[in-house]
Amino acid sequence: MSLLGRRTPGWPVTLTDGSVLLRPYRRSDATAWSEVRRANQAWLAPWESSLPGGWDELNSPAAFRWVYRDQRRSTRTGEGMPFVVCLRAGGRERLVGHVNIGSIVRRAFCSGYVGYWVDSRVAGRGVIPTALALAVDQAFGPGGLHRVEVNIRPENRPSRRVVEKLGFREEAYHLRYMHIDGTWRDHIGYAMTSEDVAAEGGLLARWHRVRATTG
């Protein structure tokens, strides 16, 4: 099978838990994606990789076409599992975030890197921990991965709390790891393997127990 004939194992798929829904992006998401991204510039821009162009331009409905194309390419080559995060209520979906298992490497490694963001208007409600748990369980199960990693700036306490609540291990400190907000920024490396959650029935099951005990 040719490289372009492949597709990421375990993808496409729709995943749900309560009001949280993960699904592949659609071309029709452009307007909603742009609205959320533009409304959250102050919340998101300090933590995202430096790219040429202004925030409004990079997060316009027109720019979404390039985002969508890159995501589709990553799934065709088996390197990505990109999900839009939605909240469901009254039979309707509201786009509120993004989770991606990307840079997937197979064979003896079977690992990928996690990236995510969430609308500040729903932050602190357990949306992204739930979404991340759903995506990681899919990656460890049908996706066939053994390990997932997350790299986060030390100053980004909200993002670090997400992975720490889920039980990711802090494994490394990467000096000048990525160019963000005008300069090379340090990152803390977190990771988890499938064995870490197998006995608990998966990461989502672990997250449910954490929420039940912490309120």
Q: What is the pLDDT of residues 139-152, one digit of tens each?
A: 999 999 999 999 99
Contact 82, 139 (CB under 8 A): no
The mean pLDDT of the chain is: 93
- Which helix or strand (DSSP H or E) is residue 148 part of? strand 147-152
Residues 75, 181: Cα–Cα separation, whole Å: 28
Indicate if the pLDDT at residue 160 is higher than 70. yes
Mean pLDDT of 200-204: 97
Q: Which domains are seen in the chain, by residue range?
A: 8-214 (3.40.630.30)
Percent of the chain's residues with pLDDT above 90? 87
Q: Counting beta carbons within 10 angstroms of the beta carbon of residue 93, is it exposed (0 to 12), middle (13 to 18) or buried (19 or more)?
A: middle
Here the tokens at position 198 are: 């197998």
pLDDT band at 181 (very low <50, low <70, confident <90, very high): confident
The per-residue pLDDT for 3 is: 36
Higher pLDDT residue, 5 or 133? Answer: 133
Mean pLDDT of 3-19: 83
Q: Residue 16: which region, alpha, beta or left (left: phi > 0; alpha: psi -120 to 50)?
A: beta
Contact 88, 19 (CB under 8 A): yes
Q: Counting beta carbons within 10 angstroms of the beta carbon of residue 62, is it exposed (0 to 12), middle (13 to 18) or buried (19 or more)?
A: exposed
> At residue 85, what are phi and psi to the nearest 5 degrees?
-105, 125
pLDDT band at 60 (very low <50, low <70, confident <90, very high): very high
The per-residue pLDDT for 54 is: 87
The per-residue pLDDT for 6 is: 61
pLDDT one-digit tens code per residue, 40-57: 999 999 998 877 678 899
Indicate if the pLDDT at residue 5 is higher than 50. no
Indicate if the pLDDT at residue 190 is higher than 50. yes
The per-residue pLDDT for 113 is: 97
Here the tokens at position 66 are: 């390039």
Indicate if the pLDDT at residue 2 is higher than 50. no
Please give the angle made by the CA atoms of 198, 77 and 7, to the nearest 5 degrees. 60
Mean pLDDT of 75-86: 96
pLDDT one-digit tens code per residue, 92-119: 999 999 999 999 999 999 999 999 999 9
Residues 56, 58: Cα–Cα separation, whole Å: 6
Return the number of other C-beta atoms located less than 10 Å from residue 58's C-beta. 17
The per-residue pLDDT for 4 is: 38
